[in-house]
Structure 1
């Protein structure tokens, strides 16, 4: 990120004031406004890419689900709070009727009704969470990744209210005691901070795919929507796909393939 010392101190002062309960004024927003998507995008020339995931539900079984969730949560120091009320999740499962509420019908086949759908942040083209964040702790990169700088987060939870997919969690308690084995290569959060899936943007910047795709045994395919020859484009052009709540106009970058091979 290109920023001089004076601008940095201004931004730090605004964030501190907001975190201490200071008034959110127009001047405060003007100071924070200069941050752009390019500031958070890797210098590796990723601006011509639009990353996406395609989840093939015909290849999902419980063992794959368990491996994917464990790999994601272990890598990113996601705590296990031990109860649903305080649950912190980056990737999880839910039923078809909750994942696709507008698509539920009385004649849906029983198999589809019962299978667990992997669910995560949709990394939208038009993310409402970014628009409402007063400190720009949530941002959208030029390659489509919606990330978070959790050190800028003041815990206002505007993003949680704005996200129509329930993709964010709030740390009501200090998460550190609830992490089984801490990964020293990924930052830990503190009490009062929101967090979510960041599409493994640090791995992407190293030329790797997200860990959920790596550990999915081919059930989750990662690739560039801007490349007509990419694996995700091939799947989307040859299969019927679904996205969550398309009527909202957020343009999710997570696609689901339903049907095909017999499920395990």
Structure 2
């Protein structure tokens, strides 16, 4: 899928009218209200590097997804048409569709990759949201204010990564144990990974990073001395659908060369 196809898809979904809101301050009231604390992790440009070689078993994926979903009160809904997910596993064909080749090895075809919101530098979801329920923070995190979400799903149609989920019904009965520190969502609201912004503001790393045992590296992409920059210098890396111009900030490393896309 090229950029023209994406734009056609957005137009077909009736999003064109929502683009009039592009002129609004994309950080919105919510971003202005997020006052840094003395504990807040300092960074100008948050990003992640996922070491694919360390995700070998189903358990490697499950422990990361379970930690994320449990912490953020993500409902466990079995129906794939109605499921809500912040981080999940997918194969090469669906993760890196633009890199698909008929000569791809069977080993690569069978590999699973952790996927989540890419917290893009130019997030299309922010541009199309008519209420500023989705906004980009100064540190690069694409966050959400669920109280502002009207469930129009323009953001879902505009996201080329399928990183957003819609609550078709009340999600609370599908949460085994509610984390009282964070809100639950309601019917008719979209949700996605927020890069654990609330933890970062307290001086903590994202839950998935903590649970991954070193498989996910997190840090400031603008800092040449950060662990993420070191990983990108020392390994071959790719990102998802970079040709769309969204500027994804989630990198995947395989080892054995310099940084790629």
Mapped to 1, the partners of 2:105 and 2:158 lie a distance apart of 32
Mapped to 2, the partners of 1:42 and 1:51 lie a distance apart of 17
Structure 2 unaligned runs (5+)?
A: 1-16, 257-261
Which residue among 28, 34, 39 is the counterpart of 2:32? 39
Q: Within 5 Å, give how 1:72-221 maps onto structure 2.
A: 72-221=68-217
Q: TM-score, normalised by structure 1?
A: 0.83
Residue equivalent to 2:231: 235
- Give the Å deviation of 1:258: 2.3
Instruction: Select the structure of larger CA radius of gyration.
Output: 1
Shift in CA distance, 80/31, structure 1 to aligned 2, threshold 3 Å: same
Mapped to 1, the partners of 2:86 and 2:158 lie a distance apart of 17
Cα displacement string for residues 199-235 of structure 1 (whole angstroms, at most 9, x for unaligned residues): 0000011111100011001110001011100000001
For these two proteins, the number of residue pairs brought into alignment is: 237
Mapped to 1, the partners of 2:204 and 2:27 lie a distance apart of 30
- Give the Å deviation of 1:29: 8.8
- Give the Å deviation of 1:48: 5.0
SS where residue 147 of structure 1 aligns? strand
Structure 1 unaligned runs (5+)?
A: 1-22
Mapped to 1, the partners of 2:26 and 2:255 lie a distance apart of 45
SS where residue 213 of structure 2 aligns? coil
- Give the Å deviation of 1:248: 0.4
SS where residue 49 of structure 2 aligns? strand
- Give the Å deviation of 1:116: 1.0
SS where residue 131 of structure 2 aligns? coil
Cα displacement string for residues 177-202 of structure 1 (whole angstroms, at most 9, x for unaligned residues): 01011111110100000000000000
Which residue among 51, 57, 69 is the counterpart of 2:46? 51
Q: TM-score, normalised by structure 2?
A: 0.84
Shift in CA distance, 201/108, structure 1 to aligned 2, threshold 3 Å: same
CA RMSD of superposed structures (Å)? 2.4
> Do 1:96 and 1:112's aligned partners in 2 also have CA atoms closer than 8 Å?
yes
- Give the Å deviation of 1:35: 2.2
Shift in CA distance, 42/250, structure 1 to aligned 2, threshold 3 Å: farther
